[in-house]
Every structure is written in C-alpha cells, then in structure tokens.
C-alpha cells in the first residue's frame, strides 16, 4: 500500500483522536473485508498452510450444538459411504491369520524352484525366510527353501510361497514384518494384490491398477508412494497374495 | 524404511531410491505432523475404513459450510451441497490411483470453490432458460417445469448469481478500492487478521520474527484505515454513509450524511 497523507480532520474528529476508537474502526474494517472480500485462492500453494489452519480452527470453533449435529451427520455419512463402497471393501479384505506362520523343516532339499512342487503335494507353502535372503537382482526362484508352512484351512490346493513384507507402501493392509501367502502364477487381475519383480529393483507387493497390452500398473495403498509400472511379462509376476499372517494389533 | 531390493524374500514398498515424491512447495510447507495425518487419513479412506470417512467429514464440514456461506449459498442448501460434495471428493481420494494432495484442506477447499462456481454458473444458465421460456409466446407451465429443477425455480425468484444477493454498489466499490490499494501479500495478511490467525502463526508463515509480524500488522491496519477515510471523503454523501457504517460510524457522520442527501433530494423536487 502506498504511503499516504494524514487522516482528514473530519475523520479524526469522528473518533475524537481516541486511539482505542481508531483501533476499533480498524478492527471493524478488517472484519468487514474478511467477510466480503475475495477468499484467498486455495489452489495457490502459498495459501495452503492457512487452509490447513482454518479447517482445524473452524472445527474447533463449532459450538456444542453444531458439534453434536456434525457428529450425527458424520455417522450417517460414514455409514452411507461404507455401504456405497461395500464391494470395494470386500475387494480390499484379505484373509488374516493372527501371529506368525508356524514353519517346519522342508521335506525337500534344494532351491525353491525344486521344492515348490513337493510342497504342493504336502499342502504346504515354501517359506523364503529373510535370513536367507538374496541381494537385489537375484532370482527369487534360485533361493534355497529350508522351511515349509502348512496351508491354513480353507486355502485351496496349489503352489504357494510365503514371503515377508518390508516397508510401509501397503499400509494399512500390510505392515512391515507381516508374512503373506502368495499363490504362484502369472495372472494379474485388476485390484488384486500381487507380488511382482520390478526389473533391476527386486520384488514388490502391490495392488494391480490399470493393465494394458504393454504394461501393468502397480499401486500402493499408502498414498506417499506413487504408482509404478512394469512391463506386462509373465516372468515378472510371482503370484497373487491370498492371505496374510499378521501380529499387528489391528489384526487382533 | 528398509530397502526391498536388498532382500529377495523381503517385499514391500519402494526402495529408498523411490522415496515419496518431493512435497515442498514455495514457502508453503505444512507442518509434517499435519501432512502425515492427511496421508494417513487418505490411506484409511482407501481401505474404506468407516472411522476414516467419519473423520474426513468432521474435519472438512465446517470449512465447506463456511465457504458456502462466503459464497452466499442459501443457508438451507449449505449442508446438502457440502454433504454431496464430501461424498464425491472422498470417493475420488479413496481411489488408489488418485494423486494425494500435499495439503488436504486446501485441496478440498479448492475443489469445493470450483464446485460452487460451476453451480452458480449452471444456476444462471437455468435461470436464463427459465426466463426465456416464461416470456416466450405460447409458453405454458409445462415448458417452465420441463426446464427447471427445484433449485432453479427457487433461484428464479431470488437474486441472480448468488443465493443471498449482492453487496450495495458503494460497498462493492470499496472492495475494489481496497484491492487496488493493496498488494496480494497485504490482502492475504488482512484475511488472516480477519480470521484471527495468531500473530505467532503469521510470523511463522511469513518467515519473520514475532515482533516484525506484529509491527507489520499494526502498520497495515493504520494505513488501511487512513486510506479508506480519505477515500470516503471524496465520495457522494449516500455512498459515504454506507462506507462509514462499515467503520461503525453510523450514529454520527453517516446519519448526518443521509440526512443531508434526503434534504437535498426533497429540495430538488
């Protein structure tokens, strides 16, 4: 704002030169401008912290009656949204066994590749324990398989492996340290959870997003991680996650 | 975070080389805990957690109602409009492929503001069609009904673009004057003051000390008042009265001005 000449004598006379009255006038003016002026553009990143603050502040300023009404409407809203997304919720549900998988020594020596068929006949899954983990770039199928886990009741027969989850990209569905039962196979179905190999970057567990003739989109549940794409190559897909073992509190 | 690429049997998110995208924007980073809370909330929406939908609603409803009020949406429509919008935006955010905004509240506010603008535009368009139908030859009630939603019918008897009417011309001119006399940063500061943002918070957002922020606020308020009083002095009496009422001078100069105007008009007659 430009520097300006002094207040007019008439204006000063109206407040009697009383600094408190002038303060009150300035307050009224600021309030009026806030009420009637243009809102700060919320799409401008410079205003984003203000909107964060304002959102919290407006919520805190709600009176008891308004808060009670908000709570009631929020209950209705949440119930409506869950009903609308029930199919989605079912899709997101993953069978859970509380605790860690109980392993036993492998009944077949050699690598996972050679052990997996023997495990299938014994209704078991081959465990790849992180203690025997390969480094980046090594092939999962060449890893030694020293432990098996009996398939939990209800899991159809088939070829399975058990892997340990690291990282938080699939939070809150999967936590670091969870074990997942993966049905081995190259199928990729939209919205399913798969274990796949990213060329030059090791194995990941992700939800399948868009599938095109050329590539497969892999998305994370944790929004901090952007989607990634891998070539649509059967050799890059280990299989589909069908169950998790979880010792996390939320699984109990 | 562990690197999944380091261990073939440990699987999970991306490795460190694919850390979450850079979030910093020019001078506008939210506190990390706010950002983390936003991201956690979106993550819970994505697994359709009922408590997350509830929290999302509680967190944003007051903001949307206030934006609707500022947008002069009729009071009886605000909750319905805000509720419908929160359904749409939460569904959008719950999609795993949606981009997660850096600042959830600002994102929701921006989308809602656009929604209100679109709504106002649609209402104006429907109102124009309605007026056209009502004045056209051979138009009957059936024409009006076929063109009008309940909302448009209500709008046709109310004010034009906004539900609650417009400001008087003198006050619109005052807003224009303030806009021409202030910088964007000053208007932002005025907005913060109007919303009673603590000066410590202003200091943090503007990157200055508390004392400097306080001084800046004081100077801006004084200058603004002076500018407006000078502006008022050059206005016709009736407009001067309207502006002075903003300052709370209705009982003194404003009334005197109104009296002079009335007397003047009577004598003209």
Tell me the per-residue pLDDT of B35-46, one tens digit each, with 9 for 90 and over: 888 888 888 888
Provide CB contacts within 8 A for A155, sequence distance 6+: A95, A181, A242, A243
The answer to the question of residue A103 being in a domain is: yes
Which residue from A25, A58, A219 is facing B247, i.e. has the nearest CB?
A25
pLDDT of residue B110: 95
* Selected residues 132-161 of chain B with any CB under 8 Å from a CB in chain A: none
* Nearest CA distance, A153 vs chain B (angstrom): 24
Are the beta carbons of A8 and B91 separated by less than 8 Å?
Answer: no
The answer to the question of residue A3 being in a domain is: no
Domain membership of residue A38 as a residue range = 9-91
Residues A103 and A200 in one domain: yes
How many inter-chain contacts (A to B, CB under 8 Å) are there? 343
The total domain count for chain A is 2
Residues A222 and A118 in one domain: yes
Are the beta carbons of A85 and B48 separated by less than 8 Å?
Answer: yes
Residues A101 and A124 in one domain: yes
Of B187, B193, B200, the closest CA to residue B217 belongs to B193
Is the pLDDT at B254 greater than 60? The verdict is no
Asked if A58 reaches chain B (Cβ–Cβ under 8 Å), the answer is: yes
Are the beta carbons of B9 and A226 separated by less than 8 Å?
Answer: no
Chain B residues whose beta carbon lies within 8 Å of the beta carbon of residue A48: 25, 28, 30, 102-103, 105-106
Euclidean distance between CA atoms B266 and B269, whole angstroms: 5
Q: Which residue of B has its CA nearest to A76?
A: B54
Is the pLDDT at B31 greater than 70? The verdict is no
* Selected residues 218-237 of chain A with any CB under 8 Å from a CB in chain B: 219-228
* Averaged confidence pLDDT in chain B: 74
Of B246, B268, B81, the closest CA to residue B170 belongs to B246
- How would residue B14 be classed by pLDDT, with cut points 50, 70 and 90? very low
Residues A132 and A247 in one domain: yes
Summarize pLDDT for A236-248 with one digit per residue, the tens: 888 888 888 887 7
Which residue from A32, A37, A223 is facing B187, i.e. has the nearest CB?
A37
ipTM above 0.85, yes or no: no
SS3 B28: coil
Of A60, A91, A122, the residue at which a domain comes to its end is A91
* Averaged confidence pLDDT in chain A: 79
* Nearest CA distance, B124 vs chain A (angstrom): 20
Asked if B165 reaches chain A (Cβ–Cβ under 8 Å), the answer is: no
Which residue from B4, B190, B247 is facing A202, i.e. has the nearest CB?
B4
pLDDT of residue A60: 94
Of A91, A110, A125, the residue at which a domain comes to its end is A91
Q: Which residue of B has its CA nearest to A63?
A: B62
* Selected residues 147-176 of chain A with any CB under 8 Å from a CB in chain B: 163-174, 176
Whichever domain contains A182, its CATH number is 2.10.109.10
Asked if A146 reaches chain B (Cβ–Cβ under 8 Å), the answer is: no
Of A38, A71, A91, the residue at which a domain comes to its end is A91
pLDDT of residue A168: 82
Q: Which residue of A16, A19, A47 to mutate against B (max B Cβ within 10 Å)?
A: A47
* Nearest CA distance, B146 vs chain A (angstrom): 31
Chain A residues whose beta carbon lies within 8 Å of the beta carbon of residue B18: 201, 225, 228
DSSP B164: T
pLDDT of residue B53: 93
pLDDT of residue B157: 40
The answer to the question of residue A4 being in a domain is: no
Summarize pLDDT for A9-36 with one digit per residue, the tens: 554 555 566 777 778 888 888 888 888 8
Residues A124 and A140 in one domain: yes
Residue A120 CB-density burial (10 A; 0-12 exposed, 13-18 middle, 19+ buried): middle
The answer to the question of residue A163 being in a domain is: yes
pLDDT of residue B149: 53
* Nearest CA distance, A178 vs chain B (angstrom): 10
- How would residue B155 be classed by pLDDT, with cut points 50, 70 and 90? very low
Residues A37 and A115 in one domain: no
Chain A residues whose beta carbon lies within 8 Å of the beta carbon of residue B192: 50
The answer to the question of residue A215 being in a domain is: yes
pLDDT of residue B54: 93
Distances (CA, A) of A157 to A72, A113, A116, A160, A194: 47, 18, 12, 9, 18
- Segment A154-168 shows an average pLDDT of 85
- Segment B53-72 shows an average pLDDT of 94
* Nearest CA distance, B251 vs chain A (angstrom): 10
Residues A15 and A81 in one domain: yes
pLDDT of residue A6: 40
pLDDT of residue A131: 32
Which residue from B29, B59, B106 is facing A47, i.e. has the nearest CB?
B106
> Can you list the pairs that B69-74 forms with residues at least 24 positions away whose Cβ atoms lie under 8 Å?
B70/A35, B70/A39, B71/B113, B71/B116, B71/B120, B71/B162, B72/B162, B72/B163, B72/B164, B72/B165, B73/B116, B73/B162, B73/B163, B73/B164, B74/B154, B74/B158, B74/B163, B74/B164
Asked if A129 reaches chain B (Cβ–Cβ under 8 Å), the answer is: yes
CA A66 to chain centre: 32
Are the beta carbons of B53 and A217 separated by less than 8 Å?
Answer: no
* Selected residues 69-128 of chain A with any CB under 8 Å from a CB in chain B: 70-71, 73-75, 77-82, 84-86, 88-89, 92, 128
The answer to the question of residue A83 being in a domain is: yes
Residues A39 and A80 in one domain: yes
Relative orientation angle of helices B184-194 and A48-61, to the nearest 10 degrees: 10
* Nearest CA distance, A237 vs chain B (angstrom): 13
The answer to the question of residue A144 being in a domain is: yes
Residues A140 and A58 in one domain: no
Q: Which residue is associated with the tokens 């796949």? A: A196
Residues A126 and A86 in one domain: no
Is the pLDDT at A97 greater than 90? The verdict is no
Residues A139 and A200 in one domain: yes
Q: Which residues of B207-232 are buried (b: 16+ CB within 10 A; e: fewer)?
A: eeeeeebeebbeebbebbbbbbbebb
pLDDT of residue A63: 92
- pLDDT, greater one: A10 or A60: A60
Task: Find the range with the poorest average confidence among A219-223, B132-136, B232-236.
Answer: B132-136
Contact between B105 and B93 (Cβ < 8 Å): no
Task: Find the range with the poorest average confidence among A9-13, A106-110, A202-206.
Answer: A9-13
Top mean-pLDDT range of A64-73, A130-139, A209-218: A64-73
Residues A169 and A47 in one domain: no
Asked if B105 reaches chain A (Cβ–Cβ under 8 Å), the answer is: yes
- pLDDT, greater one: A87 or A36: A36
* Nearest CA distance, B164 vs chain A (angstrom): 12
Of A172, A70, A72, A249, the closest CA to residue B41 belongs to A172
Are the beta carbons of A30 and B224 separated by less than 8 Å?
Answer: yes
Asked if B16 reaches chain A (Cβ–Cβ under 8 Å), the answer is: no
The answer to the question of residue A76 being in a domain is: yes
Asked if B8 reaches chain A (Cβ–Cβ under 8 Å), the answer is: yes
Asked if B251 reaches chain A (Cβ–Cβ under 8 Å), the answer is: no
- How would residue B112 be classed by pLDDT, with cut points 50, 70 and 90? very high
């Amino acid at each position: 704002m430009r520097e300006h000449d002094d207040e007019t004598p008439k204006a000063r006379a109206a407040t009697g030169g009383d600094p408190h009255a002038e303060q009150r006038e300035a307050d009224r003016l600021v309030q009026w401008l806030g009420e009637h002026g243009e809102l700060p553009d919320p799409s401008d990143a410079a205003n984003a912290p203000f909107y964060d603050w304002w959102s919290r502040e407006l919520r805190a300023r709600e009176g008891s009656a308004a808060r009670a009404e908000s709570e009631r409407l929020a209950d209705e809203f949440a119930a409506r949204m869950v009903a609308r997304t029930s199919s989605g919720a079912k899709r997101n549900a993953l069978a859970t066994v509380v605790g860690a998988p109980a392993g036993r020594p492998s009944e077949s020596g050699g690598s996972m590749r050679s052990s997996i068929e023997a495990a299938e006949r014994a209704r078991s899954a081959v465990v790849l324990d992180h203690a025997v983990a390969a480094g980046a770039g090594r092939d999962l199928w060449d890893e030694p398989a020293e432990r098996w886990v009996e398939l939990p009741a209800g899991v159809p027969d088939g070829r399975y492996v058990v892997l340990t989850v690291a990282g938080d990209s699939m939070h809150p569905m999967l936590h670091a340290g969870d074990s997942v039962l993966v049905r081995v196979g190259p199928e990729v179905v939209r919205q399913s959870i798969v274990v796949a190999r990213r060329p030059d970057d090791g194995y990941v567990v992700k939800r399948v997003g868009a599938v095109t003739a050329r590539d497969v989109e892999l998305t994370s549940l944790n929004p901090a991680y952007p989607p990634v794409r891998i070539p649509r190559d059967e050799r890059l897909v280990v299989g589909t996650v069908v169950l998790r073992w979880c010792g996390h509190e939320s699984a109990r | 975070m562990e690197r999944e690429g380091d261990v073939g049997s440990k699987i999970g998110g991306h490795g460190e080389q694919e850390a979450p995208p850079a979030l910093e924007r020019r001078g506008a980073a939210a506190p990390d805990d706010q950002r983390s809370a936003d991201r956690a909330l979106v993550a819970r929406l994505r697994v359709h957690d009922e408590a997350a939908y509830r929290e999302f609603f509680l967190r944003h409803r007051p903001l949307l109602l206030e934006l609707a009020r500022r947008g002069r949406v009729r009071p009886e429509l605000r909750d319905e409009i805000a509720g419908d919008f929160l359904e749409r935006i939460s569904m959008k955010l719950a999609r795993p492929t949606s981009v997660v905004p850096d600042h959830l509240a600002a994102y929701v506010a921006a989308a809602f503001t656009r929604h209100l603008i679109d709504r106002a535009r649609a209402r104006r368009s429907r109102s124009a069609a309605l007026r056209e139908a009502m004045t056209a030859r051979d138009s009957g009630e059936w024409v009006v009904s076929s063109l009008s939603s309940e909302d448009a019918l209500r709008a046709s008897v109310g004010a034009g673009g906004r539900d609650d009417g417009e400001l008087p011309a003198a006050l619109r001119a005052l807003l224009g004057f303030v806009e021409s006399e202030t910088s964007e940063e000053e208007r932002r500061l005025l907005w913060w003051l109007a919303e009673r943002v603590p000066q410590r918070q202003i200091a943090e957002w503007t990157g200055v000390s508390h004392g400097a922020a306080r001084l800046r606020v004081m100077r801006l308020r004084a200058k603004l008042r002076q500018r407006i009083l000078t502006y008022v002095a050059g206005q016709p009496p009736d407009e001067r009265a309207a502006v002075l009422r903003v300052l709370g001078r209705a009982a003194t100069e404003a009334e005197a001005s109104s009296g002079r105007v009335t007397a003047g008009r009577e004598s003209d007659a």
